[in-house]
Amino acid sequence: MATSDMGDIQVAEHALQHHFADMEQQQETSTFGMWMFLLTEIMFFGGLFCAYLVYRASYYQAFVEGSQKMNIWLGATNTAVLICSSLSMALGVRAAQMGKPKLMAVLLLITIVFGCGFLGIKAVEYHEHWVNHEFPGPNFHFETGDPAHAATDPVHTEIYFSLYWAMTGLHALHMVIGVGLVTWIIIAGLGGAYSRSYFTPVENVGLYWHFVDLVWIYLFPLLYLISKKHGGG
């Protein structure tokens, strides 16, 4: 224990920046800064959620028909995969708190596996939408059943798919960045960068990962579960 404590102290001395009084102040400042960044991220995604709200209110039926093209089981599986990745991430941060870099590396590696699993399933969904001409643009094609009795305009369903691709695409981009960040934490952690008294980057990357999970928690019901009973289905 004595040697590990010595190591802790050395890492802490190295980690403390000169403009902070002590490690506690530095840690609090860092957490606050990360939350401020997440606040801007919330507003960033919030703009898309607001656009979704406006168009859903205007073209509800078209959104219902668009959402019925979603594979609910793939979406639900992906939700579960992300929740599992958040658990392993939370346990990884906990391992860092306790000064166990190897355990942290294993748990964060599991997080990466779940993260890549999410992206893989998402890629399968994207491919399905692509071959079904459900990508907005010149090749977009949407059958609204019997054209004579069609209640919706395909243009409005195209708006649903524009928002679907934009929101899940931005989310997937955040996942890709997250996988990169977690990889960096694993490498730095195994190199002895963190200790029981200094693991701020681990904590902050954890916050980022959970935030991305949080966005999906809202995306899933809003894009996949609008209504199974309404519309033509």
Partner 1 sequence: MAKPTDEHFDPMSHVVPVSLYVTIWAALMVFTALTVFAATVELHIFNIVVALLIATIKGTLVVLFFMHLRYSTKLTMVTVVAAIFFLIIMFSLSMTDYLTRAWSTSIH
CB of 141 to partner 1, least distance (A): 26
Q: Which is nearer to partner 1, 45 or 135 (CB)?
A: 45
Q: Residues 196 to 225: which contact partner 1 by CB under 8 A? A: 197-200, 203, 206-207, 210-211, 213-214, 217-218, 220-222, 225
- Angle 156-158-160 (CA atoms, 0-180°, nearest 5)? 80
**Which runs of consecutive H residues, i.e. helices, occur in the chain?**
2-15, 23-58, 60-67, 72-97, 101-131, 154-190, 200-224
Among 124-132, 158-166, 180-188, 194-202, the segment contacting partner 1 (CB under 8 A): 194-202
Q: Which stretch binds partner 1 (CB under 8 A): 76-84, 118-126, 147-155, 161-169?
A: 76-84
User: 36-72 burial by CB neighbour count: b if 16+ within 10 A, else e?
Assistant: eebeebeeebeebbeebeebbeebbbbbbbbbbbbee
Residue 126 CB neighbour total at 10 angstroms: 17
Instruction: Decide: is 187 part of the binding site for partner 1 (CB under 8 A).
Output: no
Collapsed DSSP state (helix, strand, coil) of residue 48: helix
Site for partner 1 in 36-75 (CB under 8 A): 36, 38-39, 42-43, 46-47, 49-50, 53-54, 57-58, 72
Task: Pick from 69, 94, 100, 129 the residue near partner 1 by CB under 8 A.
Answer: 94
Q: How many CB atoms lie within 10 A of CB 20?
A: 15
Question: Shortest CA distance to 48 belongs to which of 144, 169, 149?
Answer: 169
Residue of 48, 74, 90, 116 that binds partner 1 (CB under 8 A)? 90
**Angle 200-224/154-190 helices, nearest 10 degrees?**
160
Given the rule CB under 8 A, which residues bind partner 1? 9, 12-13, 15-16, 18, 20-24, 27-28, 31-32, 35-36, 38-39, 42-43, 46-47, 49-50, 53-54, 57-58, 72, 76, 79-80, 83-84, 86-87, 89-91, 94, 97-98, 197-200, 203, 206-207, 210-211, 213-214, 217-218, 220-222, 225-229
